[in-house]
Amino acid sequence: MSRPSTRSSKNKRHRVDDNAATTCQIYRKIHSTGEVTNDDVNQLYMIWKPVCQGCRVNTKDNPNCFCGLVPPPNGSRKSGLWQKMSEVVLALGPDPFKDLRASSEYSPAGLTNLGATCYANSILQCLYMNKTFRQGLFSVEPGLLKQYPVLDQLARLFAQLHASKLAFIDSAPFIKTLELDNGVQQDSHEFLTLLLSLLERCLSHSQVSRARTIVQDLFRGSVSHVTKCSKCGKDSEASSNMEDFYELELNVKGLKSLDESLNDYLSVEELHGDNQYFCESCGTRVDATRSIKLRTLPYVLNFQLKRCVFLPKTTTKKKITSTFCFPGEFDMRERLSEPSDLELIYDLSAVLIHKGTAVNSGHYVAHIKDENTGQWWEFDDEHVSNLGHHPFGEGPSSSADKPVQTEPSVHLSPTEQMNGVMNGNHINVGQMLMYNLRRTTKSGGDRQTVPGHMEIKEDIIHSDSDAALPAHLYEEVKELNASYLDACQQYKLKKERELDSITERRQEVRSVLSEGTVLSLEDPYYWISTDWLRLWADNITPPIIDNTPIQCLHGKVPVSKVGSMKRLSSKAWNMLLSKYDGGPALSNDDCCIDCLVEGASTMVSADDYKDRRKLMKELADAVLSGKCLDGNLYYVSKSWFQQWARRKIIDSPCDADAGPTASIRCSHGKLIPEQAPGAKRLLVPENLWLFFYESANAVKPDDTLGCSVFPSDAEPCATCSMELTEVASIEDTLRGFKLKQRQSHEKIALGKGFVLSPNCKYYLLPSLWLSKWRSYINANGKNVSSSVEPEKLDSIIDAMKCEKHSRLLERPIELICKRGMIFQRFSATDGLTIITKDDWKFFCEDWGCTEDKGISAEIEFNNYLANNFAGSCEEMPINEEHISPHDEVNEELGSRQLVIKTSPVVCEVCIGERESCELMQKLNYCNEDIRVCFVRGKEAPKSILEASGTISEPDRRTSKRSRKTNFGNSTNLKVSGSTSIYQLKMMIWESFGVIKENQILHKGSTVIDGESSTLADMNIFPGDLLWVKDSEIHEYRDIADELSDHKMEVQQAEEGFRGTLLTSNISSQLLILGEASIEASSHFLKGWFEDGLNFVWFGNMCSKKLEVGICLSGSRRIIGPWVPNFLLLGEKLKILEEDLKGWNRKEFGNVAAHKTRVQQIRN
């Protein structure tokens, strides 16, 4: 449907003054009689106009119109008194009631995200929602909390989450205590591991048994690494050693469910071939098996899903986003190394989810089950949402906005299986799973035992209701709640006051305006400024009454201010005056009669001037047509007169009426000769000249020079005439000189060349100087004044030689051969041009130089017969278009054998230095355009190859638009000489959607490679044309992932939690051990193993000595099961010498396999 025209005259308001004639008559009557009646006042002040009703805007020409000062009853405005109430409330500031928690008993609170702290918020919520851990932390004695700030801030944070009235809690004090960088995204698994380690060390000093071992009691289990000889069937001595774990790290790559990952974790590894195990019982290397055995299980079983894998080819990390199923509950009895008769059923209690496709970015949220109600909650920083009892689609009450795929369980009970969620463009996958051991009650007992592990007392682990907060925490939260509730109450009172004030003001405005209308001409009234009335009607707090803008110099109301004031009834005026004060009061008796009389005189004068101007305009038109030239005549400027005749008729003279003879008056005060530039003049009749003279004097009475009188018999200035004659003589001489130049150098002046002969003496001149000379001597008409005389040849010849060697600084232009004749290539600005000896002689005579100073040139040839070249000087234009490409190719060999010998010789040293500097300046560009074409075919078109291989001009203009061609798309990119090829490929990726690995970038036929190189390194200049093809080898990926990963790589290597309180007590050291009896080859353990922040290097292995370099940032369990025979004693790491005896492949197994596992831990 077409848009309606806004220029339609249907609704257009026509402002035609129907009373203009009446007003004019009244003013003429006042001007003639000097008397003003009441009827005149009513008519001129528009008091007679009726009261408006329903106008869209306020009418300026009606003092009785109050429309548009307030919006309609249901309307509003963008600001001021009449803006929407919702916007008024918003202007009061944040509403603290929005942060009010629904119920601390039934609705959990969120945590603020300080920038990139979602990983910490999710882990803290998982720990808080574990009721047992929360109670254990609350039981810590106050003295210990003061001693360890981490415990103190965590307890305060948990207390606020537990009983605060706020819907979300500020986590800044706790994050600041840990000295974390809130702008850097970290790994949630590493954070949990280090946090539990820190809490374990701090809580170990507690005197409360529940608190002292709460971390171990809830999260610690044990495993052993069993190596079994396939020959004798015996386990190794180290197989009986048990190592603690606080989480199980499971592979997910290529695995579909938690059941499969556990099977992979507990799978048996075969050691054979080069990885055979040395059995002490058998005394030889034998095949063996190696596996992990679960010895004891914790109350909270934490599974860390290894979603990140390291890609060796690209040395980057990639996130695994495949679907992974996990059960709502499962039995771990069969997983233990020694199966138990008791049920070990674990219920899913929390799922940590990572959103996004990139490893180093994204967002963490947590889905956590409330132990009291059984409902699931989503914790997304400040936002907490109820997900119901079946959030993963495993039951009928699943939330509609959480779509998942479900698979029936075959091996586990019950049958519900949950998995990752893909939502739009964001992939949400489980990063961590938490399971809690189900409580079982046995008759005659009050405690439950996890086989082979620990006893869990009923009064410690389980409680039907949360314990009350400690007194000091309760008082602190109570004060915070009181302060928050007081802020809510203050905001409520402020809001009520503001809304009541606005409502009262709106009622006042409507009441005054309803009383403001003057019903009769006899009723008394007051004038009030429209501007103040608008301020009063629009602002919540209006200023005092100010009527001074509508006063005249006599202190009354002039008629000229009728459009800026309103007529207000006495009642309405008194209402405003009593409340806002101010003034002055201008009643109906304050209409200014003096201003009326002055206005009448001004209007009559204006009418008279317009009538006279109209007559003069007709006379001026007659003058322009060559009529009315009788009587006395006067000169005026022709250009001024023509502009005056084109101007509209106005009420009075203006500045443009000044200076009718200014441009025809010379500096001597006389009439300038007509031959002078801009001195054209016209003769006008005397009455028209007198009108010009009066108007000019009225505008500028002191400007006597601009309005000089020149009658028709005035003589031109003799001095100026003589000067013009001298100038004309000089110009004639110059014309003669230029004519002589064209005749003496006819061929050069016309741009024609001549055939060059070998062994003849010629001279060289700069092509640029000859181009200026040609423009100078050929200039005519208007171009004469703009042409510039070329410099003298003496300075030009000096500039052609280098100061250091006095040799030639330019190379002669290349010679070409055509049909047995020699020519020089034509260039208007670059290089040197060959001229004849006679031309040089005449140039020296006319342009100031001696013949001996010239640069001579002689053409010689090698291995080429002289009779192949004609000796005639046939005229030939110096232009390449006269030479066909075919001729150039055929004569290329001959042209290569021609040599120009110059005197002085060419200085290659100085030319090379100059060209190097020019190249550096050319490459040092910034924010310039290059064009990139995306070629879709197998080969680039010939036009692209030729254009891409051509050296571009830096100053040439190029189109900024993206274009679509037959072979693909093209676009302009802003680059600099320092732009890297990597950055250029990222721009191309963004423009054409081709990932950088698939881009084959060319300049001409040359492939551009090397991402670290810059455009300057690859000789890519502004205006160059590059072309790119898509190899389609690698799969497409989102450019955001590349930008995120590259940003992390460029900034710095991964620092993790180095420098924070989480790693402040971990030592880093280098141990060099003495001699040890080791039966191994020198290359056995040489290699490296990384697990996150930990780095263990084994090198310089020999039969008698082992040097071990160790850099650690965690406790013994962080080192994990993959580095055996290491004990962490206090804060120092030692290697027991007896463990080194006979330590070779027998204990370490497959070194390559351990490398892979430790790399997976790192990811």
Structure tokens at 297: 């299980």
What SS3 state is found at 97? Answer: helix
In DSSP terms, which residues pair with 833 in a beta bridge? Answer: 765
Give the three-class secondary structure for 943: helix
User: Phi, psi at residue 695, to the nearest 5°?
Assistant: -65, -40
- Between CA 966 and CA 339 the distance in angstroms is 72
Q: Phi then psi for 1151, rounded to 5 degrees?
A: -60, -45
How many CB atoms within 10 Å of residue 439?
14
CA 1126 centroid distance within chain: 51
**What would the DSSP string read from start to end of 515-544?**
H-----TTS-EEEEEHHHHHHHHH-SS---
Q: Would you call 326 helix, strand, or coil by DSSP?
A: strand
Distance of alpha carbon 417 from alpha carbon 405, whole angstroms:
9
Q: How many helices and strands (H and E) does the chain possess?
A: 35, 50
CB contact set of 984 (below 8 Å; sequence gap of 6+): 973, 975, 1001, 1015
Kindly report the number of other CB atoms within 10 A of residue 977's CB atom: 18
Phi, psi of 396 (to 5 degrees): -70, -20
Angle of helix 471-515 versus helix 149-163 axis, rounded to 10: 50
**Pairing of the two strands 1025-1030 and 928-934:** parallel
In this structure, are residues 839 and 847 in contact, taking their beta carbons and an 8 Å threshold? no
Largest CA distance in the chain: 145
Number of other residues whose CB lies within 10 A of the CB of residue 1036: 10
**Per-residue tokens: 482:** 């009181």
> Tokens 């008409």 sit at which residue?
781
CA dihedral 682, 684, 688, 692 (to 10 degrees): 30
Active site residues: 118, 363
What letters, b where the CB count within 10 A reaches 16 and e where it falls short, cover 1091-1109?
bbbbbbbbeebeeeebebe
Cβ atoms of residues 832 and 840 within 8 Å: no
What CA–CA distances, in Å, run from 660 to 656, 668, 697?
A: 9, 17, 11
- Calculate the dihedral angle through the C-alpha atoms of 71, 75, 76, 81, rounding to the nearest 10 degrees: 50
1071: left (phi over 0), alpha (psi -120 to 50) or beta: beta
Task: Residue 348: name the closest of 436, 270, 416, 273 by CA.
Answer: 436
DSSP E strands in 320-425: the ranges are 326-327, 329-331, 345-355, 363-369, 376-380, 383-388, 417-418, 421-423
Best CA proximity match to 153, nearest among 131, 129, 169, 132: 169
CA 1047 to chain centre: 15
Distance of alpha carbon 395 from the chain centroid: 45
Residue 1146 contacts residue 278 (beta carbons within 8 Å): yes
Q: Is the dihedral of CA 993, 998, 1003, 1009 positive or negative?
A: positive
